[in-house]
Homo-oligomer: A and B are copies of this chain.
């Protein structure tokens, strides 16, 4: 089959890869309907994360089940399914606590590479959520967004305790940040501040529910948030970047007793204990347990209450994946959808 492989920083190619098959009796084999490039794929693409030899890429996917292993009971061939970027059994203690991304048997889908025509999904019963019927084409991008960026933004907003009466700040205007804005709106936040200096992203943030746009960053961004909140800081801040600057900006923008939800994959971040201690903020985050939210998010999409697929402002055939990476790296595109 054809699949995206990263050979070296900046060098992604669509190569011939071996066709996946059912290996474990709990596997499903999917024909990928749509996949995409993630902001986190840019870390190795930019050489900030090192990879060991050619690596299959991609962890987001929706598709149609082709075959299942002997022990799979709830998923069957022909179903259209959505899964998260971690395969999870959905029944261990961590899964039952709602942390499927910390499943004791989790498998990172990135290690299997979903930017491809076919993909093997481990722990199919726990991982995959079928839609009631094969959805119309125009809903596929939104369902694909649910596979990671929507669920991640949703987790960020929940971890930040976004809700009625609260001012929510979102640091980061990538797909996750924009969808954290959408999540905060769905969760009933009173005021939603998107931090962005990029006009098309500002516009989408506003359409997703942002009430304010702040263009300043770092200390100036913090000062602007304090101005907007009577000097107190926001109740809820979603961090959706993963750098030292963005984490500190998030913590410093939060009032005492407020909540920081951080979902940007941390790279080179060290938090100063003393400052954190005296900040009185709550911190929670990590790789989002997207599986927890999938049933609810799929319903909201199928009912056309939310339209998270709008983060895809570039659609390419899988063979042009390299252009998708380039466009996102250069911030010409928010997020690139790839059609195998």
Contact = CB atoms under 8 A, between A and B. Distances in A.
Nearest to A271: B271
Given A266-B274, A268-B273, A271-B271, 20 more contacts: A93-B255, A94-B232, A94-B256, A97-B257, A99-B256, A104-B231, A265-B277, A266-B277, A267-B273, A267-B274, A269-B273, A269-B274, A270-B270, A270-B271, A270-B273, A276-B286, A277-B285, A280-B286, A281-B284, A283-B284
Contact of A283 (B256, B257, B282): B282
Interface of A: 93-94, 97-99, 101-102, 104, 230-232, 242, 244, 247, 255-257, 262, 265-274, 276-287
A267 B275 CA distance: 10
A278 B286 contact: yes
Nearest to A244: B273
Given A97-B255, A247-B273, A270-B271, A280 B232 contact: no
Nearest to A232: B93
A257 B287 CA distance: 11
Given A256-B97, A256-B102, A278-B286, A271 B268 contact: no
A273 B98 CA distance: 22
Nearest to A93: B232
A99 B278 contact: no
A126 B224 CA distance: 30
Given A270-B272, A271-B273, A255 B94 contact: yes
A279 B269 contact: no
Contacts of A287: 277-278, 280
Contact of A102 (B257, B268, B271): B257
